[in-house]
Structure 1
Amino acid sequence: SIGFALAWENASVEALLEQADRNMYLVKNQRSKTIS
C-alpha cells in the first residue's frame, strides 16, 4: 500500500511521511475500493 500527501514549500520530509501514512490508513479503514 502507498499513501500520498501534498507538499507545501515549508513542509518537512517527516511531516509529509506522517501525512501520507495517515491518508493511507484512513482509506484502508473505509473498507471500500479506493485508490490511495
Structure 2
Amino acid sequence: MKRDTVPVVRHSGDEVRLDDRKYTLVREDDIPGVVA
C-alpha cells in the first residue's frame, strides 16, 4: 500500500519537490508518533 509521506530531516523549514509536490521538511521531534 502506497501512502503519502513527508521527508524528514534534521532541520525544519526547508522545502523539497517530490513527484511534482512541494513538501515542507520537518524534524522527527516535530512529528512524534509518526516514526515508530
What is the TM-score when the length of structure 2 is the normalising length? 0.20
TM-score by length of 1: 0.20
Considering Cα pairs closer than 8 Å and 6+ residues apart, tell me whether 1 or 2 has the greater RCO: 1
Which has more helix, going by share of residues?
A: 1
Q: Which has the higher strand share?
A: 2
